[in-house]
Structure 1
């Protein structure tokens, strides 16, 4: 029996979701203490999470990152916030889907069933060992958006993880700005070129937090190069 965790501070909506989902023989858990969302997730061993954006204490984006750092389970946002930016932020922080309120409960059930099939059931890929990319003892877990170095870890957003993955796979070689923009945003032509600078700054800052400062080199007029610098003992 699959386990579903509902993180919704509106008791009426949470109850409605619980009633609808339980009819399909799923085991349902509802968070009540919103400062302990991650603890409830780990205790329930949830297979899928329904997550609101506006929550007490910390918002849903924060909890999405916390859960994604521990699990690859499907995370579906359900929120009254219907702006394109909210949906982008949800996906960028590790979510798999975004449903706007008001919603049809049958659509929610259909999405739950679809994501469970893709993650665990008939549509799931053959389970393989988790992917990781390692350069000079820095390890990137691209499916969980985490980098680790000398027993310390730092969380990334989806875009940050994609950016670092491309650079690490081309270790020692220059990757052009246009190539990075194409990989990270595909056909989203509205992306400002300066956006790449913002993400590059964020990734460099997080590498610095792991004592991997200056591991990304700017090659003027060409692009960027991931070049690990050995720490002198």
Structure 2
């Protein structure tokens, strides 16, 4: 069965041309003109790789990438007209695997797609880790049973504490502001005077960290937010 690739770009001509290149290589191609449509297609189909534009109206590519990474680990290649190093760093930090600038060479794109698919296939075969388990160092999070283990010891978290820990763990290495964490976990608008997230993270650290004052799991990025 051919690999299924999703092209996400608000430019219909780029979707069309890129789709032709990929279909000529034998790939099964799906197309989305915006982030919302892309997330719906990923929910409904088994996607093997995503080619994602950054500058799109509504939900931009960075936000789409972070949303995909909450539940999916397929390779993501950004295809963007933004060529500055900072843009590339931001794109890769959001969870993407590669970054190609427009205008792009079709053969280079195909080569990078093949490389990412080979890498992901090898990784999936080697790890064989159940999707409901997130393992970071000595920390194990079971998203089905909502259990947390530090070594062999189970840690009791409140529902909101678990939701914060799971969100950060699923997006390992990505820094999230207090506002972003609050809006994601509580689903409500954040108010600047609200210290709810800070209080919850302090409590999580007290439960999972050997030394809460020197955390090894939930790190503070001063002036920005938190990350695992």
TM range, normalised to the smaller chain? 0.5 to 0.7
Q: Is the 8 A contact 2:5 2:29 kept in 1?
A: yes
Partner residue of 1:52?
Answer: 53
Q: Is the 8 A contact 1:216 1:227 kept in 2?
A: no
Partner residue of 1:174?
Answer: none
Q: Is the 8 A contact 1:6 1:49 kept in 2?
A: yes
Partner residue of 2:172?
Answer: 161
**3-state SS, counterpart of residue 15 of structure 1:** helix
Specify whether residues 33 and 61 from structure 1 end up closer, same or farther in structure 2 by C-alpha distance, changes over 3 A only: closer
Q: How many angstroms does 1:85 deviate by?
A: 0.9
Alpha-carbon separation, structure 1, partners of 2:140 and 2:120: 29
**3-state SS, counterpart of residue 49 of structure 1:** strand
Partner residue of 2:73?
Answer: 72
Partner residue of 1:83?
Answer: 84
Tell me the number of residue pairs that the alignment of Structure 1 and Structure 2 aligns: 179
TM superposition score normalised by structure 1: 0.64
Q: How many angstroms does 1:126 deviate by?
A: 1.4
Alpha-carbon separation, structure 1, partners of 2:158 and 2:118: 34
Structure 1 segment 162-201 matched on structure 2, within 5 A: 162=173
Write the deviation string for residues 155-177 of structure 1: whole angstroms up to 9, x where unpaired. Answer: 4499x8349xxxxxxxxxxxxxx
Bigger drift between 54-63 and 131-140 goes to: 131-140
Partner residue of 1:117?
Answer: 118
Q: How many angstroms does 1:10 deviate by?
A: 0.8
Bigger drift between 21-30 and 35-44 goes to: 35-44
Partner residue of 2:201?
Answer: 212
Write the deviation string for residues 175-195 of structure 1: whole angstroms up to 9, x where unpaired. Answer: xxxxxxxxxxxxxxxxxxxxx
Alpha-carbon separation, structure 1, partners of 2:83 and 2:35: 22
**3-state SS, counterpart of residue 29 of structure 1:** strand
Alpha-carbon separation, structure 1, partners of 2:44 and 2:214: 42
Alpha-carbon separation, structure 2, partners of 1:227 and 1:25: 45
| Pick aligned residue for 2:135 from 128, 132, 135 | 132
- Structure 1 regions of 5+ residues with no counterpart? 141-147, 164-198, 218-222, 229-233
Partner residue of 2:26?
Answer: 25
Q: Is the 8 A contact 1:215 1:226 kept in 2?
A: no
Bigger drift between 109-118 and 37-46 goes to: 37-46
Alpha-carbon separation, structure 2, partners of 1:34 and 1:161: 22
**3-state SS, counterpart of residue 81 of structure 1:** coil
Alpha-carbon separation, structure 2, partners of 1:25 and 1:15: 15
Alpha-carbon separation, structure 2, partners of 1:149 and 1:84: 41
Specify whether residues 139 and 77 from structure 1 end up closer, same or farther in structure 2 by C-alpha distance, changes over 3 A only: farther
Q: Is the 8 A contact 1:93 1:157 kept in 2?
A: no
Q: How many angstroms does 1:118 deviate by?
A: 0.8
Partner residue of 2:5?
Answer: 4
Partner residue of 1:98?
Answer: 99
Aligned CA-pair RMSD: 3.7
Alpha-carbon separation, structure 1, partners of 2:47 and 2:107: 21
TM superposition score normalised by structure 2: 0.65
Q: Is the 8 A contact 1:117 1:124 kept in 2?
A: no
